[in-house]
A and B are shown apart, each in its own frame.
Chain A
C-alpha cells in the first residue's frame, strides 16, 4: 500500500474521488455565492448611475462593468477545473 499524505496527515488510503469532488464543489460554490453578491451590487450600481446625475458617470459605469467581467471570468476559471484521471487515482504526475 503506498503511503500518502492526506491534508498533511499520514494515511494509507487515498481519499475517494467523490470526496475530493465534493470538497472542490463546496469551495467553489461558496466563492461563487460571494461573486454573485458582487454581481448584484454591480448591477445595483449600474442602475444607480443611470438614475442619478453624478460626475464621471462614464468612469463609474466602466469600473462597475469591469468588476462584473472580472467576476464572470473568475466563475469560468473556477468551474472549468475538473479532477483529472491522475488526481482521481491519487497519483502524482511528477
Chain B
C-alpha cells in the first residue's frame, strides 16, 4: 500500500529518474491519456459488437465489432482481444505507483479484476494456438462462458474493470481530503500546498 501520511517527498530531477518513475511521475498524466485511449478503443469494439447484435440484429458470428469487420482474422485468432487484455493488465500494473490513497485502492481493484479477465482471454488464446477447443465446443470457450454467453460476459468484464479504473482516475484528479496528491505528477486538478511556504 502506498504511503500518504502527509510527508511530502521532493521529486528527484527527471534526468535521474528511471523510466518507471517518469511514467508514474512527470509523465503520469500523458501515460494515463494514452492508456485511456487504448481502454476506450477496446470499449468501442464491445459496444459496437453489442449494437450489431442487439440493435441491428446481426448474427453473432458476423458481429465482430469495429476492426473485426475489416480484419476478421483478428477476431478468429483471438489476437485482438487478447492483445487488449494484456496491454490493459500491463498498463494497470505499470501505472499503479502514480496513485495514492482511495485512488490506489480502486486502481488495484481494477487490476485484480483485469487479471482474471486476462486469464479468461489466455484460455481462449491457447485454444486457438493449440487447435483444440475445451469442452468439445465448436468455438474456443472460457470457463465462465459455460454459464454466460460470450457477448454478455465480456461486456460484464469490461464494465467491472472500467468502473473501478475510472473512479480511481477521478479520485486521482480530485483527491479526497487528507490524501495528498502524488508529489511527482501533475494529474491533480485542485490546489495543493508545497512543502515550503513563504
Give A contacts to B, CB under 8 Å.
Answer: 1-11, 14-15, 20, 23-24, 27-28, 31, 37-38, 41-42, 44-45, 47-49, 54-56, 59-60, 62-64, 66-67, 70-71, 73-74, 77-78, 81, 84, 86-87, 90-94
Given contacts A3-B196, A7-B189, A92-B180, contact A59 B163 (CB under 8 A): no
CB pair A74 B166 closer than 8 Å = yes
CB pair A14 B191 closer than 8 Å = yes
Per the CB 8 Å criterion, the residue count for chain B at the interface is: 42
Give B contacts to A, CB under 8 Å.
Answer: 4-6, 26, 47, 50-51, 53-55, 147-149, 151-153, 155-156, 159-160, 163, 166-167, 170, 173-174, 176-178, 180, 185-186, 188-194, 196-198
- Report A-chain residues with C-beta under 8 Å of the C-beta of B148: 56, 59-60, 62-63
- The secondary-structure label for the interface of chain B is loop
- Report A-chain residues with C-beta under 8 Å of the C-beta of B163: 70-71, 73-74
Residue ID in chain A nearest B174 by CB atoms: A24
Residue ID in chain B nearest A4 by CB atoms: B191
- The secondary-structure label for the interface of chain A is helix
CB pair A3 B198 closer than 8 Å = yes
CA distance A92 to B175 in the complex (A): 10
Residue ID in chain B nearest A61 by CB atoms: B152
CA distance A42 to B186 in the complex (A): 36
- Report B-chain residues with C-beta under 8 Å of the C-beta of A45: 50, 53-54, 151-152, 155
CA distance A60 to B151 in the complex (A): 8
Residue ID in chain B nearest A77 by CB atoms: B167
CA distance A70 to B161 in the complex (A): 10
CA distance A45 to B185 in the complex (A): 40
Given A5-B192, A20-B191, A77-B167, output 10 extra A-B contacts at Cβ < 8 Å. Answer: A3-B197, A11-B191, A44-B51, A44-B55, A67-B155, A74-B167, A90-B191, A92-B192, A94-B5, A94-B180
- Report B-chain residues with C-beta under 8 Å of the C-beta of A5: 191-194
B150 to chain A, nearest CB (A): 10
Residue ID in chain A nearest B178 by CB atoms: A93
CB pair A47 B149 closer than 8 Å = no
CB pair B194 A48 closer than 8 Å = no
Residue ID in chain B nearest A1 by CB atoms: B198
CA distance A59 to B155 in the complex (A): 13
